[in-house]
Amino acid sequence: MGPPSMNTQSLHTPPSSVLLRAAPRHRSSPAFTLVEVIIVVALISMIFIMAVPYTLGALQSASLTSAGDTLMQKLAQAQQRASTENRPIALDFYYYERDGIPGCHAMQMASYDPATNAATPVEPPVYWSEGRAMVIEGELSPMFATNVLPATTGPATLEPFKKLEATFRRVILYPNGSTSLRIPLREAYLTFISTKNYQKDLATPPPNYYTVQIDPVTGRGHSYRP
């Protein structure tokens, strides 16, 4: 008889059942503990709170830029139209109350007939930054405070401003470049502010504003920003 056979697996490698019993067990730990989650949420909240004022300021600045630039563009277009068409062109500024805030919330370009004092719109109305900006009345916008001609102010007769009980202030631009304004240059300006910054009888401009000056003699516009 030959030598007894040997089980090589038992000499070199333990049975698989033994390996399974001997393998260490590792308990899986969560990715974040509750304390870590609370800290992360708190940090995100702090960043959000700190960023909100800057975000709101940027939005207000963008709204004012849009409103002021629109007026400057419409003023230039009205001048060009008056010159090329050889007829007076009017810019009608509409004042009414919107969301409890009185002021100029819209403007419309019109063809003006001096013989009948009638203005016929040539473009749809423009609403300043969709209601986020306005031309404030009072000391910051003295353009229509004095020497206003009867033909350049009155209750609105056209919709949608008539039903809003709006009044208009009109600047007429003539083909020769002159305007209907009868005031010195230092008083010929309007100031846009954010509706969020509105205060009654506001005499000091807020941090963000946009001022447009119209030269009574030449009709040219000038803009000012802080």
The model's pLDDT over 126-157, given as tens digits with 9 standing for 90+, comes to 999 887 999 999 999 999 998 888 889 999 99
Q: Write the CB contacts of 147 (distance below 8 Å, at least 6 apart in sequence).
A: 182, 183
> Element (H or E) spanning 80, and its range?
helix 34-85
Is the distance from CB of 90 to CB of 119 less than 8 angstroms?
yes
- The three-state secondary structure class of 115 is coil
**CB atoms inside a 10 Å sphere around CB 192:** 29
User: pLDDT of 50-109, one tens digit each?
Assistant: 544 545 556 667 889 999 999 999 999 999 999 999 999 999 999 999 999 999 999 999
Smallest CA-to-CA distance from 110 within 147, 151, 141 is with: 151
**CB atoms inside a 10 Å sphere around CB 25:** 4
The pLDDT of residue 10 is 46
* Lowest mean per-residue pLDDT among 53-57, 179-183, 222-226: 53-57
Q: Residue ranges of the domains in the chain?
A: 47-224
Is CATH 3.40.50.460 what the domain over 47-224 is classified as, yes or no?
no
Report DSSP letters for 9-75, one per residue: HHHHS--HHHHHHHSPP-PPPPSS-HHHHHHHHHHHHHHHHHHHHHHHHHHHHHHHHHHHHHHHHHH
